């Protein structure tokens, strides 16, 4: 089991504001980091898979960075919209064949 | 729609009973993963099958078992059910047998309620 920590547990953002939150993990034996978005009453949906130190990925208004040396990844949402309200999960594979998920950061965007 | 299907969507049963949850992966995906999400718990990995063979086990109880069939669909069997087994069970699939760089596609989940 890999210890994956996400902070904060939840946050509220005003529509139009930008926000970011963190996924922390042990920096040793890093293989990859996954970000998933999980909307209420739906199933988790992959956002990014990141493998290299310094990686930056972007999908629309959502972007992520990765620092494997210090063991963290940031997810950024620019100009938050109500449809960005979801729980954002990060996950890391402790080995080839499974993922350990963090508890998630729940984002609520207020109109 | 991820292309992963799970049945049934909801299941209500009594303690001590046995149930079977079914998952069909995306077309062409060889890997199937099962996860459990209980109240106030994150997604807990249960088991991974690749092309019919078990690849990894998580904290799966001995009362639970799974298999992947030649047509690649998978079943998760839960027996001697307890109240604490009430949870949302997800199946996910990916193209390859490794979790490192391949994103997983999640099904809609099966909500199990044990009364």
pLDDT tens, position by position, A50-81 = 998 889 999 999 999 999 999 999 999 999 99
CB contact under 8 A, B99 and A97: yes
* Exposed/middle/buried for residue B95 (C-beta within 10 Å: 0-12, 13-18, 19+): middle
State the smallest CA–CA distance between residue B104 and chain A in angstroms.
7
Ramachandran class of A71: left when φ > 0, alpha when ψ lies in -120 to 50, beta otherwise: left
Q: How far is B81 from chain A (nearest CA, A)?
A: 24
Contact between B102 and A103 using a beta-carbon 8 Å cutoff: no
Residues of chain A predicted below pLDDT 70? 1
Check A99 against B100: CB less than 8 A apart. no
Query: How far is it, in rounded angstroms, from Cα B72 to Cα B75?
Result: 10
Q: How many CB pairs under 8 A join A and B?
A: 68
For chain B, list residues with pLDDT below 50: none
The pLDDT of residue A30 = 87
Classify A105 as helix, strand or coil: strand
Contact A97 B90 (CB under 8 A): no
A101: chain B residues, CB-CB within 8 Å? 35, 42-45
Peptide bond into A8 cis (omega under 30): yes
Q: Are B78 and B18 in contact (CB under 8 A)?
A: yes
Phi, psi of A84 (to 5 degrees): -80, -10
Pairwise CA distance, residues A78 & A60, whole Å = 9
The distance of A79 to chain B (nearest Cα, Å) reads 26
pLDDT for A1 equals 67
- Cα distances (angstroms) measured from residue A81 to each of A12, A108, A110, B54, B80: 12, 9, 8, 41, 45
Question: Cβ distance A82 to A17 under 8 Å?
Answer: no
């Amino acid at each position: 089991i890999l210890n994956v920590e996400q902070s904060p547990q939840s946050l509220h953002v005003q529509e139009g504001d930008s926000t970011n939150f963190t996924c922390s993990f042990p920096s040793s034996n890093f293989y990859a980091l996954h970000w998933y978005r999980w909307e209420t009453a739906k199933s988790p949906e992959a956002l990014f898979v990141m493998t290299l130190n310094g990686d930056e990925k972007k999908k629309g208004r959502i972007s992520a960075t990765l620092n494997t040396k210090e063991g963290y990844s940031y997810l950024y949402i620019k100009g938050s919209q109500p449809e960005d309200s979801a729980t954002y999960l990060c996950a890391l594979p402790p080995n080839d064949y499974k993922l350990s998920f963090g508890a998630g950061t729940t984002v609520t965007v207020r109109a | 729609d991820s292309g992963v299907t799970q049945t049934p969507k909801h299941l209500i049963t009594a303690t001590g009973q046995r149930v079977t949850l079914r998952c069909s992966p995306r077309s062409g995906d060889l890997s199937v993963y099962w996860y459990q999400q209980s109240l106030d718990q994150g997604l807990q990995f249960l088991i991974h099958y690749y092309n019919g063979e078990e690849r990894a086990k998580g904290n799966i109880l001995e009362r639970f078992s799974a298999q992947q069939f030649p047509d690649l669909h998978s079943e998760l069997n839960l027996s001697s059910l307890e109240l604490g087994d009430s949870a949302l069970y997800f199946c996910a699939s990916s193209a390859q047998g490794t979790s490192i760089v391949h994103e997983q596609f999640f099904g809609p989940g099966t909500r199990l309620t044990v009364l």
